[in-house]
Amino acid sequence: MKNAVILGALIVTALCRTRPVLGAMTSTTDLLGQLRREWQHVGRSREASEACERLRSRHPTVGLGVMIDLCDVVDALELRGGRTALERAEIVRALLQEAGDPMIHRALLQTLIPGIVSVCRQLRFGDGIIRDPSETLGTAMALASELLVDWAGQSRQYCAPDVLSALRGRLRRWLLKEKAAMRTLAQFDATDEPAETSSPLLARLDSYRGSQYERIARITYARVFEGRSLRELAHDDHCAPSSLQAELQHFAIRFLI
């Protein structure tokens, strides 16, 4: 649980604090837009087509016959997708049963995004506890992802409502812990040593050392842990701030969510 929340915090930082805040919901909208754009790429990939074929062969009765890739599956689960509520529920149940597959896990998470946003809205995005609504959304995404890992392989008739109900409980507990932490931190000076809870993030970023992602992991570290500005990092990297922001967003969503 702790790792999921920490990773969620890093994702939010990389995605939503690379530009000035223009309004309470601006960065949240940016996060959702980035997730949608990233999904259009991932969901149409060769791996997504292969995962769709595996899903169809293992669940021949849920009506996936004409679907080419996982984007088609997610589109079919939208209200305008032409499926009845029962048909959508059967597809979601099949997705959860196969959620041990990373591609199908990602497809199910994408399907649940409207519900995840609704859960955040019910909890007022942590208003009064969390300064940036996108931080609550990022944490909710991480917690939902962890739930899908925990429940992968299960067959649940009411899969989506069950996941969202469990998410609401976990997110509420996280908000209560954050509220308690605010009170505790107020008693200490800002010069206190950093908490060791950041170590999983440091280890995750360090794991990319020597890989093709070493550069972007190093920049992510500088942005998150050193607090360096996007403009400064872009100058050092000899690229445009907007390009670097998009690269940070893609790295966070693709590898840390």
62 in the same domain as 178? yes
Whether 254 is covered by a domain: the verdict is no
Domain co-membership, 162 together with 227:
no
DSSP assignment, residue 198? Answer: G
**Do 141 and 125 touch, CB atoms closer than 8 A?**
no
Q: pLDDT of the chain along its 257 residues, tens only?
A: 444 444 554 454 444 443 333 344 555 667 788 888 889 999 999 999 999 999 999 999 998 988 999 999 999 999 888 889 999 999 999 999 999 999 999 999 999 999 999 999 999 999 888 888 888 898 899 899 999 999 999 999 899 999 999 999 999 998 988 887 776 655 544 444 443 444 566 777 788 888 888 888 888 888 877 777 778 888 888 887 777 877 787 777 666 65
Q: Do residues 211 and 167 both lie within one domain? A: no
86, 110: one domain? yes
205 located within any domain? yes
> How many separate domains does the chain show?
2
CB 2 within 8 A of CB 170: no
| Same structural domain, 105 and 165 | yes
Residues 113 and 144 in one domain: yes
Whether 251 maps to a domain, the answer reads no
9 and 116 share a domain? yes
- The rounded Cα 106 to chain-centroid distance in angstroms is 9
Is residue 157 a part of any domain in this protein? yes
Q: Are residues 12 and 113 in the same domain?
A: yes
Q: Which domain holds residue 207?
A: 197-240
Same-domain pairing of 134 and 212:
no
Question: By the 8 A CB rule, do 148 and 96 touch?
Answer: yes
Length of the chain, in residues: 257
For residue 90 the two structure tokens come to 């059967």
Which among 46, 49, 168, 148 is positioned nearest to 95, based on CA atoms? Answer: 148
Query: Three-state DSSP class for 212?
Result: coil
End-to-end CA distance of the chain: 13
- 22 and 130 co-located in one domain: yes
In a domain, 245, yes or no: no
CA-to-CA dists, residue 29 to 22, 36, 133, 164, 248, angstroms: 11, 11, 10, 20, 17
Whether 192 is covered by a domain: the verdict is no
